Amino acid sequence: MSGIGLKRRVILGREVEVEVDDNTVILLDFGDSTFALLHSAFCIGNGESFSGLHVAGSEGALKLEYGRIEVWSRKIDGWHYIEEVPNRLPYVSGIHVKLPEAHIYSDIMHLVDCILNDKEPVISGEHARHVIEIIEKAYLSAKQRKPNTLKQTSN
């Protein structure tokens, strides 16, 4: 499911008409009763209600948000613990910490490091292409109002 929740919004002090979906829900079926649910919304204000990453599995669940990881599992004493995670991006220090989107600077510097030191990037171009395929199939599925099959292109 996907659509435009807010038809107009103010960006950098200027009102613009929204041209792309700003509220999308994707359900991925990996077979054998294994699913992933992704929700992305830029139409709900600051995103507080749906922020973070939540992963649930047969052994427990992880919740990553606000600089911490919550672990839930029947296999640990008390079923639950919280681990604080340092808010650190590689290559981001000094004045770069204050950049509005410091993660982009980190990504660029990772690429520079790979080129200068003949290393493979953490994320390959093939992986990025596969992610784009998933996103495109999700938009197609929303438009057609039916599930679409995605061929596995990577392991």
State both tokens at 128.
């990025």
Residue 138 above 90 pLDDT?
yes
Task: Using alpha carbons, list the distances in angstroms from residue 113 to 15, 30, 42, 105, 142.
Answer: 39, 35, 32, 12, 39
Three-state SS string over 18-54 comes to CCCCCEEEEEEECCCCCEEEEEEECCCCCCHHHCCEE
CA gap 103, 19 in Å, rounded: 25
Strand pairing partners for 83?
69
CA gap 153, 155 in Å, rounded: 7
CA gap 95, 97 in Å, rounded: 5
Query: What does the pLDDT look like over 24-75, one tens digit per residue?
Result: 999 999 888 888 888 887 766 554 555 678 888 888 899 888 778 999 999 9
Q: What's the predicted TM-score (pTM) here?
A: 0.71
pLDDT band at 155 (very low <50, low <70, confident <90, very high): low
